Copies of this chain bind each other. A is one copy, B any other.
């Protein structure tokens, strides 16, 4: 249930409404925007039937929410769009941040080198995996806390906020101790224990779409995080699994505008995993911004041929600089900047 407040509602009136709603067992979430204020009510809507909502001062109108997700629904944000701040960068505004870096943190040297290169080319955040999900138990699975330390050092050197993946609910606090943004990967999109854990931390979350997740599943996964109190979720389309065999995944570009109409959360794209090929990164990035994406996350490696993972889809420093150079006109065409 969404309660839309009158323009001139006071803080006291809001508090009164919250008390009344919470007294009958629902939870509330307040979103104040420029033109309206929303009080979202989460829980069994049937109970609200007995509350004379429209006679309470400050309430303009009341709307049931039929969607299975509430906090993630577009109307739950007063301005129908929300921003997520990571370090000194913002997702969901007029600037489209680009996170860049290697699939895995392989060592201090390559990370420092990569950090300098991507910062120089205009990246907004540094990505790199310290805990790596791998399909095979015999593949390299990351440097763990050593990797996190390296990331933090490169943040010092470059000023770039850090986004890195958390795989295990037991590691969530550890990772949050180093990272500016926690990534929940595609394979863990329905790892509900992990979603709840990152929902209890006050760290922005980059939530990647599962390989066979419908968009409704995707928003419900965001809802898990949000329902624990962490509203700072950025969604990431990274390709889905279909019959198509020519590319690693099928980039579901239309998910971007669909999500933008359905949720207030920022939506970015991962052209590296979507295509799985270096030469597809640029056209997919251009298209994502054209379709309204709020940013990108791109794999960059000093020497893709020797990368411990995802070498085929990683850009060299030169290719990344070219990408950033080419992106500008598309961001501008979409009314944004990089």
A contact set with B: CB distance below 8 Å: 42-43, 68-69, 133-138, 141, 167-170, 187-188, 190-194, 210-212, 214-217, 220, 223-224, 227, 240-247, 250-254, 256-258, 261, 274-275, 279-280, 283-284, 286-292, 329-330, 332-334
Contact = CB atoms under 8 A, between A and B. Distances in A.
B291 A287 contact: yes
- Please state the number of chain copies in the assembly: 4
Contacts of A254: 247, 250-251, 274-275, 280, 283-284
Contact of A257 (B42, B214, B283, B330): B283
A151 B10 CA distance: 52
14 contacts: A43-B138, A134-B192, A136-B220, A138-B223, A168-B169, A187-B192, A245-B245, A246-B258, A253-B284, A257-B284, A261-B279, A286-B333, A287-B290, A329-B333
A257 to B, nearest CB: 4
Most chain-B CB neighbours within 10 Å: which of A192, A214, A241? Answer: A192
Contacts of A333: 286, 290, 329-330, 332-333
Contacts of A135: 68, 190, 217, 220
Contacts of A275: 254
A191 B42 CA distance: 29
A253 B252 CA distance: 7
A67 B253 CA distance: 28
A125 to B, nearest CB: 23
A246 B286 contact: no
Contacts of A167: 192-193
A284 B274 contact: no
A215 B275 CA distance: 14
Residue among A212, A220, A245, A256 with max Cβ neighbours from chain B (10 Å): A212
A68 to B, nearest CB: 5
Given A191-B191, A250-B250, A253-B284, A136 B68 contact: yes
Contacts of A256: 283
A20 to B, nearest CB: 21
A43 to B, nearest CB: 8
Contact of A240 (B169, B223, B245, B250): B250
Pick the 9 closest A-B CB pairs, nearest first: A212-B212, A168-B193, A257-B283, A290-B290, A287-B287, A329-B333, A187-B190, A286-B290, A253-B253
A7 to B, nearest CB: 29
Given A212-B212, A279-B261, A290-B290, A224 B137 contact: yes
Nearest to A329: B333
Contacts of A274: 254
Contact of A241 (B212, B223, B261): B212
A159 B211 CA distance: 40
Nearest to A215: B246
B291 A190 contact: no
Contacts of A245: 214, 245
Q: Which of A133, A211, A244 has the most CB of B within 10 A?
A: A244
